[in-house]
Chain A
Amino acid sequence: MSRLAVVVFVIVCAAFALSWVLRAGATEGDHAVRDAFLVTLSAFMTLAIMSFMYRDNPYYKFAEHLFVGISAAYWMCVGFWSTIVGNLVPRISEGLSDFFKVPYSGGGLDFDLFFLPYRVFYLIPIILGILLLMRLIPKTGWISRWPLAFIVGTFAGLNLIRYLQSDFIIQISATFVPLFVEWQGFGDFVSRLSLAADGQFIAMLSNLVIFLGVFCGLVYFFFSKEHTGWFGGASRLGIWILMITFGASFGYTVMGRISLLVGRLTFLFRDWLGIISS
């Protein structure tokens, strides 16, 4: 450890202690000291991650590793209590249900496969789950393909129907929009022609862009035919539509990322430093 690193470490520790004391003084309630410690801890974790903006450093690495460890355990615990205890235990054992204080539901036979009672039937996911964990042991890792096959098969079966209906059939049908909106003749159209956002012209233009845009976008993705002639023209229009789409996505991505930074700075200014009120 270099001298500079030691000095920085001492400064960070001193700043933490100072922040804790000042925050505790400003915090009301029975647990002021504890709450002040927690807010200070949150703030220092925030700053540790932000320090990466300068360059990679031990404080960032510390925070990053802590996050990975805590996150994994969080999902495990919530998964255990919500689904293993909440859904599996009540179906396999009355004793375990009593222990975990969850209502036992094994009495009612929900489904009877090959005359196997309800409880045995629900041993299948336990066995498959344990087989999945065998992946942690290199020699027996191959057997984890069984539960993996179950996961893959279920996903494939569920997705096949849903994507076909929602992302294909309904999307295609929604693309066939009327190209003449509120059409009452050419004369009427010309007399009402304006660039008002809710006007007839813009409504027709929008529908035309949707219809042509989807068609040309799909043409661009069609690689079995050379993109020349009218097909090439449609493909080029498709690229333009896709470019506008990506531009819109970029704009929204910027908005999203800035919001996250605002969120963190709000925490630092309001909850930690107390320099803004809301």
Chain B
Amino acid sequence: MSVPTWERIVGNIGVIIVLLLIGGGLVWLFVRALRGKEVDRRVVFAFILISVAAPLLLTITFEMKPTHIVQELYDKIDNLPAGSRILLSFDFDPPMAPEVQPMADVVSRHVLTRGHKAVFMTLWATGQAQFNITLEDVIRRQFPNAVYGEHYVDLGYKAGNEGVLNVIRTDFKKMFPTDVNTVPWDSLPILEGIRSCSDFDLIISLGGGKPGVKEWVLFVGDPTGVPVAGGVAAVVAPMLYPYFPSQMCGLLGGIKGAAEYENYFRDNHPDHTDMETPAMIMMGPQTVAHVVILAFIVIGNVLFFVNRRKEVKR
């Protein structure tokens, strides 16, 4: 039996206090609802703030099992022979970043760990700056031996959304004559032999808006037959299910998908046990907030039926 440390005791007391605070508050709201009384929207806001902030401060984390659709992408990257060419498109902006950046980080980590050649690009101007975060936090810090231009390359952003995809589908160099730092295409060894998107073994779009995974499937995946996978913000994830598995080989949907991938990757790579797991950490507040929102739905409905009964009586 482990000796309880002060930190653990304080942590547990903290968890208990927070649960009592939130639970007690919800019971109070429920009782009010039974009496047909509403609360100000700011009370609802306060509940959400506490239910997100408290688990973050107390660092409540959970283990996540990968679902089939997440596992498919993991297996796809894992089963490709080392040195395969993988195109990663960072199609997101700051509002999507809390969900998509953890996916971008863990997928990039997996791709480089397996020894694949990673070609990064973006269809969103903001994606160019977001890639720098992955570059600093993951690639440069954890893969110091990865050589730019040999193991990975950043092609940067091009305007035109679907227009860009329509060109690179048949002629990549025409759209990207240089990398992001204007180094010519021909002087980057990693790009040797790449003429079009068909020369990639896998395309992964990380985003959640337009253009994003859907456009990659429509304009590149379907016409070329190259497998396309995605990591997307939760809002668009349900809309992409019709493409799986015939047109899309895997999907990480929202922070849950990212957490599942992080958990599975860490469990299967002992040399990465100390890696940062932002998505898994986010699942703590996520869980509490979901339960609170479910409670709100119940309380709101109780209020609705109580008030309706009162009206009928009148």
Q: Do chains A and B touch in the complex (CB under 8 A)?
A: yes
What size tier do the contact residues of chain B reach? 35 or more
Answer whether residue A269 sits at the interface, using C-beta atoms and an 8 A cutoff.
yes
Contact A249 B238, beta carbon cutoff 8 Å: yes
Given contacts A83-B158, A87-B177, A275-B57, contact A255 B163 (CB under 8 A): no
Least CB distance, A230 to chain B, in whole angstroms: 26
Interface stretch of the complex, out of A25-33, A72-80, A133-141, A220-228: A72-80
Answer whether residue B222 sits at the interface, using C-beta atoms and an 8 A cutoff.
yes
Contact B52 A154, beta carbon cutoff 8 Å: no
**Chain B 133-162 per-residue mask, 1 if CB under 8 angstroms from chain A, else 0:** 000000000000000000000001111101
Query: Which B residue sits closest to A80, measured CB to CB?
Result: B159
Contact B57 A276, beta carbon cutoff 8 Å: yes
- A residues near B247, Cβ cutoff 8 Å: 166, 170, 174
- B residues near A158, Cβ cutoff 8 Å: 162-163, 166, 219
Query: Which residue of B125, B128, B290 is within 8 Å of A258 (Cβ)?
Result: B290
Least CB distance, A269 to chain B, in whole angstroms: 6
Contact B178 A252, beta carbon cutoff 8 Å: no
**Chain A 64-92 per-residue mask, 1 if CB under 8 angstroms from chain B, else 0:** 00000000001100110011001100100
- A residues near B238, Cβ cutoff 8 Å: 245, 248-249, 252
Contact B182 A86, beta carbon cutoff 8 Å: yes
Contact B282 A266, beta carbon cutoff 8 Å: yes
Separation of A54 and B45 alpha carbons in the complex (Å): 9
- A residues near B256, Cβ cutoff 8 Å: 255
**Chain B at the A interface: mostly helix, strand, loop or mixed?**
helix
Query: Which residue of A86, A105, A259, A261 is within 8 Å of B234 (Cβ)?
Result: A259
Among A102, A162, A249, chain B packs the most CB atoms within 10 A around the CB of: A162
Separation of A79 and B158 alpha carbons in the complex (Å): 7
How many residues belonging to A are interface residues under a CB distance threshold of 8 Å? Answer: 50
- B residues near A263, Cβ cutoff 8 Å: 97-99, 282
Contact A259 B56, beta carbon cutoff 8 Å: no
Answer whether residue A122 sits at the interface, using C-beta atoms and an 8 A cutoff.
no
Answer whether residue A93 sits at the interface, using C-beta atoms and an 8 A cutoff.
no
Instruction: Give residues 245-297 of B contacting A (CB, 8 Å).
Output: 246-247, 253-256, 276, 278, 281-282, 285-286, 289-290, 293
- A residues near B222, Cβ cutoff 8 Å: 162, 165-166, 170
- A residues near B254, Cβ cutoff 8 Å: 252, 255-256, 259
Query: Which B residue sits closest to A75, measured CB to CB?
Result: B125
Query: Which residue of A53, A101, A248, A278 is within 8 Å of B45 (Cβ)?
Result: A53
Answer whether residue A163 sits at the interface, using C-beta atoms and an 8 A cutoff.
yes
- B residues near A110, Cβ cutoff 8 Å: 174
The contact sample of 23 A-B pairs, CB cut-off 8 A, is A78-B125, A79-B157, A82-B156, A82-B159, A86-B178, A86-B182, A103-B184, A162-B222, A166-B218, A166-B247, A167-B218, A252-B253, A253-B234, A255-B255, A256-B99, A258-B48, A260-B99, A262-B289, A263-B282, A265-B53, A266-B56, A266-B98, A266-B281
Answer whether residue A264 sits at the interface, using C-beta atoms and an 8 A cutoff.
yes
Contact A259 B235, beta carbon cutoff 8 Å: no
Among B99, B234, B242, B285, chain A packs the most CB atoms within 10 A around the CB of: B234
Separation of A102 and B180 alpha carbons in the complex (Å): 11
Answer whether residue B193 sits at the interface, using C-beta atoms and an 8 A cutoff.
no
Query: Which A residue sits closest to B160, measured CB to CB?
Result: A83
Task: Using A158-B166, A269-B53 as known contacts, list a sample of 20 further A-B pairs with CB atoms less than 8 Å apart, ordered by residue number in A.
Answer: A53-B42, A78-B128, A86-B158, A87-B158, A87-B175, A102-B177, A158-B219, A163-B218, A165-B218, A166-B217, A170-B246, A245-B238, A253-B235, A255-B254, A255-B286, A255-B290, A258-B286, A262-B255, A266-B281, A278-B278
Answer whether residue A254 sits at the interface, using C-beta atoms and an 8 A cutoff.
yes
- A residues near B285, Cβ cutoff 8 Å: 258, 262, 265
Contact B159 A262, beta carbon cutoff 8 Å: no
- A residues near B158, Cβ cutoff 8 Å: 82-83, 86-87
Contact B286 A259, beta carbon cutoff 8 Å: yes
Answer whether residue A171 sits at the interface, using C-beta atoms and an 8 A cutoff.
yes
Contact A171 B237, beta carbon cutoff 8 Å: no
Query: Which residue of B125, B162, B178, B234 is within 8 Å of A255 (Cβ)?
Result: B234
